[in-house]
Amino acid sequence: MCGFESHSRHHDVHRYTCAFFTRIPLFVQVFRAIPSVADTPVALTIGNFDGVHLGHQTLLAQLSEKARALGVPAAVMTFEPHPREFFMHERRPTRLTSLREKLELFRRAGVDRVYVCRFNARFAALGAQAFIDELLVRGLAVRHLIIGDDFRFGRGREGDFERLRAAGELHGFSVASMDTVEIGGERASSSAVREALEQGDLARAERLLGRPYAISGRVEHGQKIGRQLGFPTANIQLKHRSLPLAGIYAATVTGGGLVNAPGAASVGVRPTIADGLRPTCEVYVLDREVDLYDEHVSVRFCHKLRDEARYEGLEALREAIAQDVANTRAWFAQNPISED
């Protein structure tokens, strides 16, 4: 089985960097359920893939390589909502990536198909054997399955690697597990990325992700308070998504005709404006007068300037924003970003 020769517990992610970019499909086919009968065999992996960090990328590179060798589509089974959102409710983790962002990252990783399973009470009650028989064998006709070393499945997490391997021997598909990927001695995981972002450590998050952290979304109309204060901002639609970071950042904006345009971004609940507002992400683009309404843009976070703060009135807020813009301008003067 190509790509699984390592006998060490941990994988060096750099061994798979080239494979990650060897074949990029023009688009990803997205299925909102597992079919009752498969239309074609697939090579498959299963998981939430929040953030699509370097550990995920390593697994997806191996999936793509094996799919090419077998001549079948490379497929991902993922879940919406995240199972922890279903089980933990108010204690659910923040999301690193939206579904749309994940689909784009899957495409870049060489994935051909994504099966988005609605995680609800019925799905959670599906037993391990039914998961294998109904989903893997009949619904997807799996030829090869690769999973992470901590993967469990089925009601009460009763299914494990050995059960999958036994099913593979019975039904004629191969099964492989990928060991932990470490970056500089740290396990690459979604929780580690969340922790880094919550602490404002963008450099650590970037090491684990293999790219700067960014969020994307459509620009929507806001309360236009920034415009009243002399700093019109683009408000990114989050669709009830909770973000793992908060504060004021030097950032870049790509989309709507902009490429890595420097800006000052604010993420949080805007405590000076009102209590209890839903989290927002808004960015003031430096030295540009652009209309970004209804454009889909990506905001890349480069450097944290400060935490959110409450100010006594809009004039104090305006002065703070002016200082943030000045600090952002100074940071980019020392850390220029190329427009490519």
- Classify residue 339: in a domain, yes or no: no
- pLDDT value of position 303: 97
Domain range for 160 is 11-186
What is the CATH number for 329? 2.40.30.30
**Packed helices 190-198 and 202-209: angle between N→C axes, nearest 10 degrees:** 160
* Residue at which a domain ends, from 186, 205, 232: 186
What gap in Å lies between CA 129 and CA 136, rounded to an integer? 10
What is residue 160's DSSP assignment? -
Let me know whether 164 and 288 are in one domain: no
Query: 262: exposed, middle or buried (C-beta count within 10 Å: 0-12, 13-18, 19+)?
Result: buried
Let me know whether 111 and 244 are in one domain: no
- Classify residue 340: in a domain, yes or no: no
- Classify residue 67: in a domain, yes or no: yes
- Classify residue 204: in a domain, yes or no: no
Helix ranges (H only) for 174-224 are: 190-198, 202-209
Could you tell me the two tokens for 199?
């602490």
- Classify residue 114: in a domain, yes or no: yes
Measured from the Cβ of residue 267, the count of other Cβ atoms closer than 10 Å reads 26
User: Which residue, chain included where needed, has tokens 């995240």?
Assistant: 82
- Classify residue 194: in a domain, yes or no: no
Greater confidence (158 vs 24) lies with 158
Strand 42-46 and strand 142-148: pairing?
parallel
- pLDDT value of position 228: 77
- pLDDT value of position 8: 35
> Each residue of 187-236: pLDDT tens digit?
999 999 999 999 999 999 999 999 999 999 999 987 777 777 888 899 99
- Classify residue 63: in a domain, yes or no: yes
DSSP 164-175: HHHHHHHHT-EE
Could you tell me the two tokens for 57?
């990328």
Let me know whether 243 and 126 are in one domain: no
How far is the CA of 28 from the CAs of 58, 105, 112, 149, 318, in angstroms?
Answer: 19, 10, 5, 26, 44
User: With bands split at pLDDT 50, 70 and 90, how would you rate the model's confidence at 276?
Assistant: low
Q: Which amino acid is at 325?
A: V
What gap in Å lies between CA 24 and CA 21, rounded to an integer? 7
What gap in Å lies between CA 96 and CA 22, rounded to an integer? 25
What gap in Å lies between CA 316 and CA 122, rounded to an integer? 52
Let me know whether 221 and 296 are in one domain: yes
Query: Can the peptide bond before residue 81 be classed as cis, meaning omega within 30 degrees of 0?
Result: yes
Let me know whether 326 and 245 are in one domain: yes
What is the CATH number for 91? 3.40.50.620
In degrees, to the nearest 5, what angle opens at C-alpha 96 toward C-alphas 46 and 75?
A: 25
What gap in Å lies between CA 71 and CA 67, rounded to an integer? 6
Q: Which of 8-12, 85-89, 145-149, 299-303 has the lowest mean pLDDT?
A: 8-12
- Classify residue 4: in a domain, yes or no: no
How far is the CA of 58 from the CAs of 64, 143, 153, 193, 340, in angstroms?
Answer: 10, 20, 21, 16, 26
HEC string for 213-246:
CEEEEEEECCCCHHHHCCCCCEEECCCCCCCCCC
> Each residue of 294-319: pLDDT tens digit?
999 999 999 999 998 888 888 888 89
- pLDDT value of position 2: 31
Let me know whether 156 and 236 are in one domain: no
Let me know whether 45 and 151 are in one domain: yes
> Each residue of 8-59: pLDDT tens digit?
334 444 333 333 444 688 889 999 999 999 999 999 999 999 999 999 999 9
Let me know whether 91 and 154 are in one domain: yes
Q: Which of 68-77, 213-222, 271-280 has the lowest mean pLDDT?
A: 271-280
Let me know whether 121 and 172 are in one domain: yes
Could you tell me the two tokens for 179?
């060991």
Let me know whether 97 and 150 are in one domain: yes
Let me know whether 221 and 173 are in one domain: no
Let me know whether 23 and 142 are in one domain: yes
Task: Tell me how many domains the chain contains.
Answer: 2
